[in-house]
Every structure is written in C-alpha cells, then in structure tokens.
Amino acid sequence: MTSYPLWLMNFGTLPEASANEPSDRLVLESKLRQGFPFMSDANSRQTAEGHYYAALDLMAEGQLDKAVASYRESLVADPTFTEAMHGLARALQDLQRYDEAIEVAQRIAEVDPDDVLAHTSLSVLYQKKGMIPEAEAEGAKARVLGWKQQLKGKS
C-alpha cells in the first residue's frame, strides 16, 4: 500500500463556503480565470448572471449588504463580468464604502478602458471622498470617451 503525504491526500479538496462567503474552490477558480480573463466558460457566465440578477433583486429590496455578497459571488464565477462590477461599485457607494467602490471602478476601467460609466463612477466616488482633482480628471476622461463613442455612432 502506497503512503501519500497529507498535502497530496487532500489535494483538490477544499472546505465549503460559509453562507456569506464564496467557497475556496470558487475563489481559486476565479483567481485562475483572472490570470486568463478570456477563458470564461458558458457555465461560469451563467452562474455569474444568476448571482447578478439575485443581487439586482436584493438592491431593489434595499438589502445592500446581501447584494454586495451576491455581486461578489457573480465576480467569483466570472471576474470579467463588468455589469456585476458596476452593480457592486454602486452598492458599495450606497453603503458609503467609497474606497472599496473605487477599487471596483478602477478594475472596470482596467477590463474595459472605454467604459464611460466606469470613469463617471470614479469621478463621482472621488468627489464624494473630496478628491477633487482626481474627480475632475475622471470626469474629463468620461466626457472624451462619450464624445468619441458618439462620433463613431456607438451611442
């Protein structure tokens, strides 16, 4: 009989998630997909959308903390799902957790640099924190991107 080291015996087994936190397995899969952001599969996107729509319902019910958790679950399933990022940023803004909201909005701008709403959100969030020069810079980026999109006929 072969004896395996403990770490190898438990390889691939991860503890289950608590009620409000994503499981370690989901977090690990999400981190791997972040390294390869274009490898999101159909099941991951479907899971992400399910959590996203649940978060929208929770937002409508005023359950912001639960909405934040659901948006985060969505992003664990698909880290490039910008609609969920926008929702998460808004929920965090409504909870006055501006630093976290700024981090999320910055991530949106990284994933999609031409996202006008990402720069608009950053402008609003910076303004709420009293970071006026940063707010004005992001507002200007949003306006320029909006104009470019209008000229291209995107709007």
- C-alpha atoms less than 13 angstroms from C-alpha of 61 in its C-beta half-sphere: 11
For residue range 85-122, what is the model confidence (pLDDT) as tens digits?
Answer: 999 999 999 999 999 999 999 999 999 999 999 999 99
- Helix, strand, or coil (residue 68): helix
**pTM for the whole thing?**
0.72
What fold does the segment set 20-152 form as a domain? 1.25.40
* R_g of the chain computed on alpha carbons: 19
Return the domain boundaries, the chain.
20-152
CA distance 42 to 55: 20
